Amino acid sequence: MEDFDFHQHYQNHEVDISWLSKPSQHEFRWRNSDGRWRKSKRRVSSIATFRKALFQDNPADVYFSTSSWLNPIDLPRLSDETRPHPILLNHLIVFDIDFSPLSLENLEQARITTLKLHNWVEQNYDYELISISFSGSKGFHLFYNDLDRSLFSIENAKEREIAVKDERKKLLQEVLLAGFKVDPRITADTRRIIRLPGSIHGKTGLLCHRISLERLEKSIESWINDVPSHFADLEIPKTAISQDKEKKPFKSYVNEEKEQIDQYTYMMEVSNHLPGTKDRSALIFWTPYSWGTGAECFERLNTLIEMEKLCYCVIFSDGERILFVCPESITRAKVVKILTHIGLDKLASTLEQREYYWVRISGIMEDDGIWYNEPKFISIISNNEIKSTYSKSHLTLLTKLGVSLDISQYENLSGNDEPSIRMVVRD
């Protein structure tokens, strides 16, 4: 990569900004072949101004902001209270779908997922599809325009951006719970950047470029060889080569402003509290690693169900532990007692002090873009001899997690319809 003259490429080939309504309102950044990051110090309104912005840099990867701003140059940080808050004019709805590692098999899976996600969005939201990109590596990008402009009419600039982010977070949660494993770092972040169509992917040498919906509907093998490749030795393997799940050493770069890029993990969590009630909880927990996922673990869980006279439980596994979900309406004190009895003292203490706790319900995505430890549905354990009152919100949660059940068949329900779900980012 270091020997490739990216600069010369961008002087002789055009990036694709024609589909952006006003490119000059977007921020442009690039990472040079030596790892240093640069921001455009001028507005990019044409191919000519884009080339001038690059100067003599050798950009291995080029990006643009998913948001458009009244002034996109030198945007202040969210935490910067010394400068006026930037005015957000628009925020594209973007989904980044990747399947790692790079292979024809994974690309085909990414293509199918992208197509299914687009069809799902078309059925559930009034968004305008404006572009589809092949990323130049492991997947695709979907770009939509939000036709509802009400949030962008909020007068206070900071409140406007927060409102847009909150709305995008809700959308992201729905997408993830519908089973589409998009990159959670992109959709809900108004300050996020994404690869620019018409630019070279610095690792693969493949051209990131826009494709039609008709092309997306065709198999990868029917068109991938037509994608321009700038590295002569690139050969995409047919099947995925398994990757070690252990974390790889993370190499960070520091740009001229001494801003460090940190590593984060992303996951979704649900609260055990029943929304709309004062003292009711569902019993949700991950079993200790020491229990394993075999016969001993299930024996412990069956004993728990019998001893506590639980009526209905659902079990998931991530391959290392068991996620136990009992969607019954239980007093908080009883849940504390149960958690203490099975040795989950920290969770019991949290519930006792805060009146609720949060539990992971998704896989974990690291900065490599790969989802690990995805919980898979195993079984339902039902004791029909025992009658109970159920948490309406946690039954809804189970349907979102793919469990087939008809909530209307449950006679006694407690609390509101929707569970409390949040996206968590940890460093």
Domain that includes residue 64, residue range: 6-261
Last residue of a domain, one of 261, 285, 313: 261
Last residue of a domain, one of 261, 276, 309: 261
Task: Judge if pTM exceeds 0.85.
Answer: no
Strands annotated E in 222-341: 265-271, 280-286, 312-317, 322-331
Examine the domain organization and report whether 274 and 230 are in the same domain. Answer: no
Structure tokens at 339: 């958690």
| Residue 62 belongs to some domain of the structure | yes
Examine the domain organization and report whether 256 and 271 are in the same domain. Answer: no
Cα separations in angstroms, 226 against 1, 62, 207, 209 = 21, 22, 10, 12
| Residue 149 belongs to some domain of the structure | yes
| Residue 98 belongs to some domain of the structure | yes
Examine the domain organization and report whether 148 and 39 are in the same domain. Answer: yes
Examine the domain organization and report whether 212 and 346 are in the same domain. Answer: no
Give the closest residue to 93 by CA, choosing from 174, 208, 214: 174
Q: What is the CATH number of the domain that holds 81?
A: 3.90.920.10
| Residue 1 belongs to some domain of the structure | no
| Residue 88 belongs to some domain of the structure | yes
Examine the domain organization and report whether 309 and 255 are in the same domain. Answer: no
> Taking a C-beta distance cutoff of 8 angstroms, is the pair 388, 311 a contact?
yes
> Taking a C-beta distance cutoff of 8 angstroms, is the pair 29, 57 a contact?
no
| Residue 417 belongs to some domain of the structure | yes
Strands annotated E in 138-237: 139-146, 193-195, 209-210
Structure tokens at 375: 């919980």
Count of domains observed in the chain: 2
Examine the domain organization and report whether 79 and 192 are in the same domain. Answer: yes
- Single-letter amino acid, residue 162: I
> Taking a C-beta distance cutoff of 8 angstroms, is the pair 221, 238 a contact?
no
> Taking a C-beta distance cutoff of 8 angstroms, is the pair 406, 383 a contact?
no
Question: In 10 A of CB 280, how many CB atoms?
Answer: 20
How confident is the prediction along the chain (427 residues), in pLDDT tens digits per residue? 446 788 888 999 999 999 999 999 999 999 998 889 999 999 999 999 999 998 889 999 999 999 999 999 999 987 788 999 999 999 999 999 999 889 999 999 999 999 999 999 999 999 999 999 999 999 999 999 999 999 999 999 999 999 999 999 999 989 998 889 899 889 999 999 999 999 999 999 999 999 999 999 999 999 999 999 888 778 899 987 655 444 443 333 334 333 434 567 889 999 999 999 999 999 999 999 999 999 999 999 999 999 999 988 999 999 999 999 999 999 999 999 999 999 999 999 999 999 999 999 999 988 777 788 999 999 998 877 678 899 999 999 999 898 988 888 888 999 999 999 998 887 7
Examine the domain organization and report whether 226 and 317 are in the same domain. Answer: no
Strands annotated E in 11-81: 26-32, 37-39, 59-69
Cα(386)–Cα(328) distance, integer angstroms: 12
Last residue of a domain, one of 261, 291, 323: 261
Count CA within 13 A, CB hemisphere, residue 188: 23
